[in-house]
Amino acid sequence: MSVPSRLEPVDFRITAWMARNGVTLTRLALGIVFVWFGAIKFVPGWSPAADLATRTIERLTLGVVEPSLALPLLAVWETLIGVGLITGQFLRLTLLLLFIQMSGTMLPLLFFPSETFAAFPHSPTLEGQYVIKNLVLVGAAIVVGSTVRGGKLQVPPPKVSN
């Protein structure tokens, strides 16, 4: 859809602002989500994902990591990811930790399908929706990761009408 010519300058300014600020705002938003979700795991009963997460870790580690240890470890891991994203420090390592953690968050769909789907594959339960929404976080992290070598979003110059 094209923009009416009289709105072209406004559209360009808005789009240019989004290109200049979008990745940073995405990185900060991801950081806030990770700090928040990590922090609530430190307080018993606050995280609605605690049971599913600890059982997933227990299963993934073949019982080596028990739920009493899994949740505090996950809380620290997620909080560190969040702090790394918010500060922008150690971004490569932070994103590596994020992608490893996100791989694990998808496993309940495989490990516990009866809990994550009311009817596979089209009707996820609330727990399933909580897991599936992580695809958005992964996509946002990929965008942030595209900038670690100096990449930026660019806006083509405005069209000049004759």
- State pLDDT tens for residues 57-73: 999 999 999 989 999 99
Give residue for tokens 């808005």.
14
Statement: residue 162 has pLDDT above 60: no
Q: How far apart are the first and last CA of the chain?
A: 20
Query: Which tokens in the block code for residue 57?
Result: 């870790």
Q: Please, are residues 116 and 108 in contact by the beta-carbon 8 Å criterion?
A: yes
Per-residue pLDDT, 142: 97
Q: What angle do CA 74, 76, 78 make, to 5 degrees?
A: 65
Q: Which residue has the higher pLDDT, 140 or 3?
A: 140
d(CA 59, CA 107) in angstroms, rounded, equals 10
> Residue 160 burial by CB count (10 A; 0-12/13-18/19+): exposed, middle or buried?
exposed
Query: Which tokens in the block code for residue 72?
Result: 């505090």
